[in-house]
Structure 1
Amino acid sequence: MKPTPEHNERIAKMTFAAVYPHYVKKVESKGRTVEELHEVMHWLTGFDTKKLQELIDENATFEAFFKNANINPNATLITGVICGYRIEEIENPLTKQVRYLDKLVDELTKGKKMEKILRK
């Protein structure tokens, strides 16, 4: 499945603050911690816990969130299917970055070891 321009626009305008509680609930329901979630987010974006909270407080869109991120060079090693989309086939850079984050959260909830999630 390929994301449409409308899908990409919807992703760009979605706020990180709206999605973050779902990430927390998902990881905690599977026995993982918020600290592990933050470690994964830090690896992908370079944002520490303080910066994540600032972005939540600012109600930053995913477009603003990833505009200021320092994406890990190994993020390109994140492959597979998430939400029905094959990550390596997504052409829109922002949509791809959001799906990277979704995939990392998914791997965390599935019990993968942190060194595998962080592509070490």
Structure 2
Amino acid sequence: MKTVFLLILSNIFMTLAWYLHLKFKNKPLVAAIMMSWGLAFFEYIFQVPANRIGYSTFSVTQLKVLQECITLAVFTLLAWIIFKESPSWNLLISYLLIIGAVFFAFKG
């Protein structure tokens, strides 16, 4: 559970680093890059320990599949909160397919 929690925190910072600057398009590009780098620093503070802890239980491939699933969930939530974008039915179905991929990645 610690790995999942750390990956969620990491992905919150990653998503903010990648997309939050779009809310401030009037700011110079250099400022957007610096803000994104600052947020990415915190992403790594959580991501590196998450993978080190998780690797004691999961394979590298399982960690990656888990991380991608968490990324989509965090992105969808933040896109809804920050950008007011509601997920459409086809995105929800694609997420269900990704959850299926996670199931098969972790199936013995």
Superposition TM-score tier, normalisation by shorter sequence:
under 0.3
TM-score, normalised via structure 2 length: 0.28
TM-score, normalised via structure 1 length: 0.26
